[in-house]
Amino acid sequence: MRVWIPALIVVLLGVSACGDSPTSPSDSSATVAPVTEVFAGTLLTGGTSFFSFAVSQAGSVKVMLATTTTESGLPLAPALKLGVGVPAGLGCGVTTSVTATAALASQISTSLSAGTYCVDISDPGNSLKQTVSFNIRIVHP
Amino acid sequence: MMRRLFIPIVAIALLAVAACGSNDTTTTPTTPTPASPTTATWTGILPVPGSVSRSFEATQAGTVTVTLTAISQRPVAPTLGIGIPQSGASGCVLTQAAPAVVSSDPVFRMQVDAGVFCVKLTDTGNTGSLTFSVTLVHP
């Protein structure tokens, strides 16, 4: 009869071990929600302007020159140089660039590792006939 | 006697443990399908001179069309624009603008990223209020 007690314990332990045992997810591969930032400013003829932003983890970065307007808000479509790079000295060391006009789809889409980067906009050809206001939308991890 | 009892009990225990397991069912992975475009109608009354705007969200990249389906007769055509919302007095900063003329063809047909955008109707060349109706189709 003494055998029953340990045997019963074995049965109970076996049954109680049933079921899913959830484990805590590891945070090492968690992805953060994308961050949207808007870089707004004005650009003079032949001018350059840049904006720094921090990427918290590796992922896709999209840069959209969304608007270029007169200072009174009238849309213009000048072709400007839009670039992405890393801050260097007092400026932005551009590593990727395109010639872009304002649009609602990103002109630059690239993968970046975590770190500090910058977006640069310029009028290298002195093509602007007047000062323009711009909005650049940046979506990054 | 003891062994006779012990063996079936251990067998039961092993069966009980063997019966453990999750109720997971195997599911077949599915490929995400693009969401159907959303159609929104924007109607209102615009005090003139002035402007009015509304925002909309594209849940994924795709094509946006903006069609002016009705507007009060005006000596000078108002302006319809599309752009991005901006906090502050600007409201909606325009990427493109065009005369607001009723047509079955869209005033704008543009590729957009996922995100929040806006449309804006402006009338500074007339007097009195106007009514309008704009149809937005976006992802």
pLDDT in tens, A81-110: 999 999 999 999 999 999 999 999 999 999
Q: Which B-chain residues 68-107 have CB contacts (< 8 A) with chain A?
A: 81-84, 86, 90, 93-97
- What is the model's pLDDT at position A23? 53
Residue B2 is given by DSSP the state H
In tens digits, chain B (139 residues) has pLDDT values of: 555 555 555 555 444 544 444 444 555 556 666 778 999 999 999 999 999 999 999 999 999 999 999 999 888 899 999 999 987 656 899 999 999 999 999 999 999 999 999 999 999 988 889 999 999 999 9
Q: In this structure, are residues B64 and B82 in contact, taking their beta carbons and an 8 Å threshold?
A: yes
- What is the model's pLDDT at position B74? 84
- What is the model's pLDDT at position B125? 87
Across-strand partners of B135?
Answer: B41, B67
Looking at per-residue pLDDT, the higher value among A43 and B21 belongs to: A43
- What is the model's pLDDT at position B73? 87
Q: CA-to-CA distance for B111 and B62, rounded, in angstroms?
A: 6
Q: In this structure, are residues A102 and A141 in contact, taking their beta carbons and an 8 Å threshold?
A: no
Across-strand partners of A115?
Answer: A55
Q: CA-to-CA distance for B94 and A44, rounded, in angstroms?
A: 19
Contacts of B102 (CB under 8 A, 6+ apart): B68, B69, B70, B71
CATH of domain B38-138: 2.60.120.380
At A3-25, the pLDDT tens digits run 555 554 544 444 444 445 555 55
Looking at per-residue pLDDT, the higher value among A134 and B30 belongs to: A134
- Please give the structure tokens belonging to residue A27: 């945070």
- Residue boundaries of the structural domains of chain B: 38-138
CB contact under 8 A, A66 and B93: yes
- Please give the structure tokens belonging to residue A12: 């109970």
Q: CA-to-CA distance for A42 and A119, rounded, in angstroms?
A: 14
Name the residue among B137, B138, B130 with its Cα closest to residue B43.
B130
Q: In this structure, are residues A82 and A98 in contact, taking their beta carbons and an 8 Å threshold?
A: yes
Work out whether the CA dihedral B110, B115, B121, B124 comes out positive or negative: negative
- E strand segments, B4-114: 38-46, 50-58, 62-71, 79-86, 91-99, 108-112
- Residue boundaries of the structural domains of chain A: 35-140
What residue of B is the nearest CA neighbor of A139?
A: B115
CB contact under 8 A, A3 and B5: yes
Q: CA-to-CA distance for A13 and A79, rounded, in angstroms?
A: 73
Q: Does A19 touch chain B (CB under 8 A)?
A: yes
CATH number among 1.10.4160.10, 2.60.120.380, 3.40.190.10, 3.40.50.880, domain A35-140: 2.60.120.380
Looking at per-residue pLDDT, the higher value among B64 and A73 belongs to: B64
pLDDT at A57 over 50: yes
Task: Determine the distance from the C-alpha atom of residue B99 to the mean position of all C-alpha atoms in its chain, rounded to a whole number.
Answer: 25
What residue of A is the nearest CA neighbor of B11?
A: A11
Question: What is the pLDDT averaged over residues A28-36?
Answer: 82
Question: What is the pLDDT averaged over residues A23-44?
Answer: 80
Ramachandran region of residue A46, left (φ > 0), alpha (ψ -120 to 50) or beta?
left
What residue of B is the nearest CA neighbor of A68?
A: B95
Q: In this structure, are residues A119 and A41 in contact, taking their beta carbons and an 8 Å threshold?
A: no
Q: Does B111 touch chain A (CB under 8 A)?
A: yes
Q: Where are the alpha helices (DSSP H) in chain B?
A: 2-18
Name the residue among B128, B74, B64 with its Cα closest to residue B101.
B74
pTM of the model: 0.77
- What is the model's pLDDT at position B21? 45
Amino acid at B108: F
- What is the model's pLDDT at position A13? 46
| CA quadruple B94, B99, B102, B106: dihedral, nearest 10 | -50
Q: How far is A49 from chain B (nearest CA, A)?
A: 19
